[in-house]
Structure 1
Amino acid sequence: MADNAPSLAEQEAEYDAFVNENLRANYIAHFSHGMLGMTGFRIMMAPTFLPAYLFLITGSNFLVGLGQSLQQMGAVLSPMISASNVEHRKRVLPVAIRIGAAMRVQILLLALAGYFLTGSLLIFATFFFLFCLGFFMGQQRVAFQMLLAKVIPIERRGRLQAYRNIAGGAVAALLSYFAGAYFITHNVLGNGYATTFLLSFILTSIGLYVLWRFMREPEPPTIRPRVSMRERLRDFPELLGDRDYRNFLIAQLLVVAARISTPFCILYAADKMDMDGTAIGMLTLAFLGADTLSNLIWGHLGDRQGYRLTFIVSILIWMIALVLLIVAQGAVPIYLAFFGIGASMSGYMMSSSTIILEFGSRDDLPMRLAMSTTAETSMATIGPLAGGVIAWGFGYLPLFFISIAFLLAALLITAFMVREPRTR
């Protein structure tokens, strides 16, 4: 190296200076992308519209579970592909934009299939596009979390996610009610669900454009050399050598396993109360409204106390909400249960995605994200399919009791076997 070349410490200082100088612009870019993108994706991912739509076109609990499983199956291997594709790059944004665009195309195709296809062809096309949506979703999670980690300091990430989720959640909650009460009830454009998906495509696409247009990405001083994905997989045992990360990963898998009942909450609610488009919209409003209101609490608590605590609290709320749903007799406790599920899932998503950024080194971050995402989506693939079989054979109540058992196990592991990564 030449004598006048900057040292690694100087390069790191320049990197930090770039981050600080562009923090305002990147904060606004991530906030805008998250607000608009989250709005569209939350309409798609809420445990109301999509399960209800799948049941409408299939008439089968098993096929509802299969459709949700196919979406997660698509995300099983793609995080590894994404991590292998970005960890050797100094600039991640171009790859992230391509992945995000491909993901949004699948939502558009879901809408078009709803408009123009019927019968078995509609079911096949819907399942295929859900698989592709999951495939690109798994890649996007790694790439976009990498971008977040590069440009937003650790002590500000929680609040950024909280503010963007509050804004996006508020818009999504209102749009969800409107979609249920108007699009679905009045079957707008011939298919209210397809029109809802089309709205999601438009909103998420605007968010992606804002990120591409305004984000300023730094180039890190060090990156990993490019190696084949097979060779990189050999490093996994070393990543799992961190006991706290390994135990957290086990807890995360148990929480994901608890989602076995999530697609069927709306179907169980339909047995307890009158269910029409307005009711679906109101339940989605309760779910996303809780997500919106709780995000600020999760973000501030996580930034100040660490995300291990928010992970634990979110699990407790989830357990209470499921118990409330089981004993509910009428609409009000069901709305409260969906509110609790929304708040808990919001806390889980923020906690699990942010705490992973704090284990280990920056250079290992892509593969650490990929490992956690692959493990999570592998379990999420099995869960809805198993849930469909159980619901088909034994009814909905066993699903909820199984979910509560998984959540209790995750709670105990996190409380007694995982140390807060910031203070260990």
Structure 2
Amino acid sequence: MNQRLQSAAHCAEELSVAERAYHCQVQRDLPRNFGAHLAHGMLGLTGFRLMHAPTFVPAYVFALSESKMAVGLALGAQFLGMALSSIWGATLIEHRDRVMRVVYSVGWLMRLQIFCLAISAFVLSGQWALIAACIFLALFGFFGGMQGVVFNVLMSKVIPVTQRGRLIGLRNFLGGLIASGVAYLGGEYLVGTNAFGNGYASTFMLAFILTSIGISALSFVREPQALKVRAKPSRFMQRLADIPAMLRVDPDYRRFFYARALAALGTSAVPFYILYAGKYVSLSGATLGYFSLAFLLSQTVSNLVWGKIADTSGYRRVFLLSVGLWCTATALLIAGASLPVFLVAFCGLGAGFGGYQVASQNFVLEFGKPDELPMLIAVSDTASHLMMALGPLLGGLIATHYDYRHIFWLALVFKLLAVAMVWRIEDPRRRQGLRRAR
């Protein structure tokens, strides 16, 4: 018995020494890692926001097909790809002491799809261009789902929980500021003038260049060796079978899982914001630039506020406030019929949607233990991406047979249900024994 107690005490002492060394390294390298993540965000997020903004890609697909269902199909393919790959991405890294190699590999594969989308837009037209867009958007989503898991795991290792809000807010502010200007110029001068023979293709190529420069900044990250990982690589099907047990263990994580899925269903309306506005105002290149600027600039400025709230009050409050703002802006969009009202609505949509993205991607980092984190991220990502895949398809079906307003009202209901679910969650930071410097 004494030998067992001595052995347990020795293990605890070794773990304590390892934990102190780990946290010392995190603090020592924090300025370098903070700067690398900030630089990556300033350029990488700029390109990705051009791809994710509810303007250029939906407008490009609609210009090719003149079909609302095609817009839903193309955006649904992207998020279906994300849903299929998140858990697989977790199985690739949860047994690894370091994840930087996987971050690079997946990141470049993701960017390759933007490059292929741009080339296909330059050289193809009509039905073939539409098919290529669906394929490359699906692959973009597939590798994006993996990147979402591995990148968040990396951030959880090198950025303490009390510093993440400031990083994310500042990163999104600076990256979004650049993205807002690029989006306006893209609409005004690339799409508006049909630059290089295809304005949309030129915009996608610009997104590829910016994201490629951004990922290079991550080469400066110094990643510590993980304190604890799974003993061996996991089988994909085995990890799928573990999901129900994971949801039963922590009621608050389960509520977050459902809330994020419900809010993700609320994104069914996002691709149709610009098409609805197009019923009342002409969607010229300049107008696309104005709407993109309103959506992205509001996302940009609000991220400083969301980051501050996250560090001081937690991501639970960010989720509640941002989704509430998103709901209010959706109601304003429904009531609008003129360019000024739509621009105000797009500002609210951008700020609310941006805050929801910040909260949904980072709230999960505060649940569970470090070695559980890859699967916790992957499971919530999978639910969210699956709903975001079904959402545009559902929205396209409703838009075809009814009206855009029906999509917006349905999305509003889903978002309010998500707010009610998160309201019941106890903030993980207030739990006894939370590791603040995970």
TM-score by length of 1: 0.97
Give 2:354's aligned residue.
346
Distance 2:139 2:93 in 1: 20
Q: In the alignment, which residue of structure 2 is the partner of 1:175? A: 182
Q: CA deviation at 1:237?
A: 2.5
CA–CA separation in structure 2 for the residues paired with 1:63 and 1:349: 25
**1:272 to partner: Cα distance:** 1.4
Give the structure 2 partner of residue 33 of structure 1.
40
3-state DSSP of counterpart to 1:47: coil
Percent identical across equivalent pairs? Answer: 42
**Which residue matches 1:200?**
207
- Whichever residue aligns with residue 384 of structure 1, its letter is P
1:88 aligns with 2:117: no
Shift of 1:4: 12
Q: Which runs of 4+ in 1 moved over 3 A?
A: 3-6
Of residues 388, 410, 415, the one that matches 1:402 is: 410
Task: Tell me, yes or no, if the aligned pair for 2:228 and 2:370 is still in contact at 8 Å.
Answer: no
The partner residue of 2:225 within 216, 219, 222 is: 219
Which segment is superposed worse, 225-234 or 384-393? 225-234
The answer to whether the aligner puts 1:295 opposite 2:303 as a matched pair is yes
Supply the AA of the counterpart residue of 2:352: S
For residues 403 and 223 of structure 1, the distance between their equivalents in structure 2, rounded to whole angstroms, comes to 39
Cα distance change of structure 1 residues 218 and 330 upon mapping to structure 2, 3 Å threshold:
same
Distance in structure 1 (CA, Å) of the matches to 2:237 and 2:62: 39
Residues 332-351 of structure 1 show CA distances to partners (whole Å, capped at 9, x for unaligned) of 11001111010011111111
User: In structure 1, the residue corresponding to 2:430 is in which secondary structure?
Assistant: coil
Letter in 1 for 2:72: G
Match of 1:97 in 2: 104
Which of 237, 249, 261 is equivalent to 1:253? 261
Give CA-to-partner distance per residue, 1:210-237, whole Å, 9 cap, x none: 112x111100121112221222233222
Where do 5+ consecutive residues of structure 1 fail to align? Answer: none
Q: Secondary structure at the match of 1:234?
A: helix
1:6 Cα deviation (Å)?
7.5
User: Which residue identity lines up with residue 367 of structure 1 in the other structure?
Assistant: M
Deviation digits for residues 114-137 of structure 1 (CA, Å, limit 9, x no counterpart):
000112211111110011000000
Unaligned runs of 5+ in 2: 1-6, 432-438
Q: TM-score, normalised by structure 2?
A: 0.94
**Structure 1 segment 67-86 matched on structure 2, within 5 A:** 67-86=74-93
Q: Deviations over 1:78-128 (max 9, x none)?
A: 111110000100110011100000000000000000000112211111110
Q: What is the correspondence of 1:11-410 to structure 2 with a 5 Å cutoff?
A: 11-212=18-219, 214-226=220-232, 227-240=234-247, 241-410=249-418
**Distance in 2 separating the partners of 1:272 and 1:4:** 68
- 2: CA distance, partners of 1:265 / 1:362: 39
Quick one: distance in 1 between partners of 2:64 and 2:393?
17
Q: Count residues with an aligned counterpart.
A: 421
CA contact under 8 A between 2:320 and 2:419: conserved in structure 1? Answer: yes
The whole-number CA distance in structure 2 between the counterparts of 1:346 and 1:222 is 33
Alpha-carbon separation, structure 2, partners of 1:162 and 1:82: 26
Contact 2:367 2:428 in 1 (8 A): yes
- In the other structure, the counterpart of 2:428 is 421
Amino acid corresponding to residue 263 of structure 2 in structure 1 = V
Q: Aligned partners of 1:237 and 1:253: how far apart in 2? A: 16
Deviations 1:360-404 (A, max 9, x none): 111100000000111111111110011001000001110011011
Partner secondary structure for residue 220 of structure 1: coil
| C-alpha distance in structure 2 between counterparts of 1:361 and 1:135, whole Å | 26
Deviation sequence 1:182-240 (CA, Å, 0-9, x none): 0011000000000000000000000111112x111100121112221222233222321
Structure 1 residues 54-75: Cα deviation after superposition (integer angstroms, max 9, x where no partner): 1001110000000000001111
Cα–Cα, structure 1 residues 236 and 336, in superposed 2: closer, same or farther, change >3 Å?
same
Amino acid at match of 2:98: R
Alignment RMSD:
1.3
Aligned mates of 2:336, 2:108 — CA distance in 1? 41
2:315 alignment partner AA? Y
